[in-house]
Amino acid sequence: MNNVSNRTANLCDGEPPFAIDNIRNQDVFGIILYSVLTFMATISMLVFLEECVYIYKKVPANKKSAIIWVNGAAPVISTMSCIGMWIPRAVMITDLTSGTYFAIVVFKFLIMMLEEIGGDEAFLKRYSKHKLKISTGPCCCCCLCLPHVAITRRTVFLLKLGSFQFALLKLIFTLLSIFLWTNGNYNPQDMRITGAAIWINPFVGILTVTALWPVTITFMHLRITLRTLKIVPKYAMYQLVLILSQLQTAIINILAMNRVIACSPPFSSPARGYMLSQQLLILEMFIITLVTRLLYRRQYDPLPEEEPGDNENTKLTTLAVSA
Confidence of residue 80 (pLDDT cuts 50, 70, 90): very high
User: Residue 317 domain-assigned?
Assistant: no
In DSSP terms, 58 is beta-bridged to none
Does any domain span residue 310? Answer: no
Residue type, position 229, single letter:
L
**What's the domain range around 95?**
26-299
C-beta separation of 173 from 201 below 8 A:
no
Whether residue 308 is contained in a domain is answered as no
Per-residue pLDDT at 317 = 44
pTM for the model stands at: 0.86
**In the predicted structure, residue 121 carries a pLDDT above the cut 80:** yes
**Does some domain include residue 313?**
no
Separation CA 141–CA 133 (nearest Å): 10
Give residue 312's pLDDT: 42
- For residue 307, the one-letter residue type is E
- CATH number of the CATH domain containing 280: 1.20.1070
Q: Report DSSP state, residue 150.
A: E
With a cut of 80, say whether residue 29 has pLDDT above it: yes
- Residue 5 · residue 45 · CB < 8 Å: no
**6, pLDDT greater than 60:** no
Tell me the C-alpha to C-alpha distance, in Å, between residue 233 and each of 18, 28, 104, 120: 40, 39, 20, 23
The chain-wide mean pLDDT, for the chain, equals 82
Mean pLDDT confidence for 70-80: 93
Q: Which segment of 74-78, 108-112, 266-270 scores lowest on mean pLDDT?
A: 266-270
The residue among 242, 234, 240, 231 whose CA lies nearest residue 313 is 231
Q: pLDDT, tens digit, for every residue of 230-243? A: 889 999 999 999 99
Query: Which of 150, 114, 90 shows the shortest CA–CA distance to 303?
Result: 114
167 assigned to some structural domain? yes
What is the pLDDT at residue 145? 66
More confident residue, 256 or 290: 290
pLDDT at 3: 47
Q: 218: exposed, middle or buried (C-beta count within 10 Å: 0-12, 13-18, 19+)?
A: buried
CB contact at 8 A, 136 and 108:
no
**Among candidates 184, 195, 309, 303, which has minimal Cα distance to 257?**
195
Q: Which residue, among 135, 132, 155, 151, has the nearest Cα to 143 in the 3D structure?
A: 135
Confirm if 312 and 67 have CB atoms less than 8 A apart.
no
Within a domain: 318: no
What pLDDT was estimated at residue 12? 66
What pLDDT, on a 0 to 100 scale, did the predictor assign at position 92? 87
Number of structural domains, the chain?
1
What DSSP assignment string belongs to 20-86?
Answer: HHHHHT--HHHHHHHHHHHHHHHHHHHHHHHHHHHHHHHS-HHHHHHHHHHHTHHHHHHHHHHHHHH
Mean of pLDDT values over 290-300 = 83
The helix-helix angle for 231-242 and 91-117 (nearest 10°) equals 160
Range with top average pLDDT, 21-25, 260-264, 283-287: 283-287
Q: Over the stretch 123-161, which tens digit does the pLDDT of each residue have?
A: 888 887 778 777 776 665 556 666 777 788 888 898 899
Note whether residue 118 is domain-resident. yes
Evaluate whether residue 16 is within a structural domain: no
